[in-house]
Amino acid sequence: MNTKSPVQIMFEQYHCTTTEERRDALKEIIQEITLAALDRAHFFTHAAFYGGTALRIFHQLDRFSEDLDFSLMEPDSSFDLGLYLNAVWDELGSYGFDMTVETKEKVTDTAVQSAFIKGGTLLHLLKIGSITPPVPGVPPNELIKVKFEVDTNPYPGAGYEVKYGLMPIPYSVRLFDLPSLFAGKLHALLYRSWKSRAKGRDFYDYLWYLSKGIPVNRRYLEAGIRQGGHWAGPEPLALKDILRLLTDRFSSVDYKQIKNDVLPFIRDTRPLDLWSKDFFISLSQEKLRITP
């Protein structure tokens, strides 16, 4: 008789060899259980999934992603996340996870960061204190943290699609389509900093989109750049304008720092040896495409 828990069965599919890989796998399982819970609570009638974790789970991005990022489809300053967090608490509890929620007020500390992280963001930290029964290789009292963020004041122009998952139970998720995901990532690459440092994960994901030949949702990118005050001209944002912004960004980056940022999230580090200003500028000029 199979006495393994559903979480243990999911965990074995990762074939982890290190403690860090086991911890990341457990986080990803928690992410999928959370998505299933949100689907049951009809969260995706109001919101869509985006960001690196959406790319990882539904489009097989080859790096781990630790956060759950969502956006309402229409601005709603009165949106209440509490009901949905209760559903997540119940679902995780049914799989043996002991979850608490820490609510954080999002603050900014640099002008560049505040241009990207705008007002109207609900930020919660899901803290998993223990799991019963335990997962081999992960201490039973290991504190697992997953950031859960909802943008309640989205800018317009995103496209959406519905994707389906099977584990731990069949579920459906509304997420940004690939051109809109790329636009969001490009906006992050241009304007996001964390403690005044660029995030290497943004640069890694940017190359993934280029390698797949995915065009950028131009309208969505332009809406974000205009909302942040970085584009005020009467003409629509054109490919040449985006390439100029990217050239400026790639010319000012500390490449040692962004490589160090992405290292904990990838297994094969050899591609990082090529990262340089010329590498990113050349690939962008050759491969970047936008929608009309």
Does residue 1 lie within any of the structural domains? no
Q: Same domain, yes or no, for 34 and 155?
A: yes
How many Å apart are CA 58 and CA 227, to the nearest integer?
A: 29
Angle at 78 between CA 77 and CA 81, to 5 degrees: 105
**C-alpha closest to that of 52 among 224, 266, 257:** 266
CA atoms lying within 13 Å on the CB side of residue 264: 10
Confidence band (pLDDT; 50, 70, 90) for 207?
very high
pLDDT of residue 112: 25
pLDDT of residue 195: 53
Distances in whole angstroms, Cα of residue 191 to Cα of each of 55, 127, 154, 184, 225: 20, 29, 16, 11, 9
Does residue 67 lie within any of the structural domains? yes
pLDDT of residue 140: 66
Q: At 167, which CATH number?
A: 3.10.450.620
How many domains is the chain built from?
Answer: 2
Is the pLDDT at 197 greater than 80, yes or no? no
Q: Same domain, yes or no, for 150 and 183?
A: no
pTM of the model: 0.87
In this prediction, residues 220-234 reach a mean pLDDT of 88
Range of the domain at 191: 179-287
Q: Same domain, yes or no, for 201 and 234?
A: yes
How many Å apart are CA 44 and CA 50, to the nearest integer?
A: 12
Q: Same domain, yes or no, for 144 and 195?
A: no
DSSP class of residue 99 equals: E
Q: Same domain, yes or no, for 136 and 185?
A: no
Is the pLDDT at 109 greater than 60, yes or no? no
Q: Same domain, yes or no, for 263 and 232?
A: yes
Q: For residue range 14-70, what is the model confidence (pLDDT) as tens digits?
A: 877 787 878 888 888 889 999 999 999 999 999 999 999 999 999 999 999 988 999
pLDDT of residue 121: 58
pLDDT of residue 192: 82
Q: Same domain, yes or no, for 152 and 205?
A: no
Instruction: Mark out the alpha helices in 176-215 (DSSP H runs).
Output: 178-191, 200-212
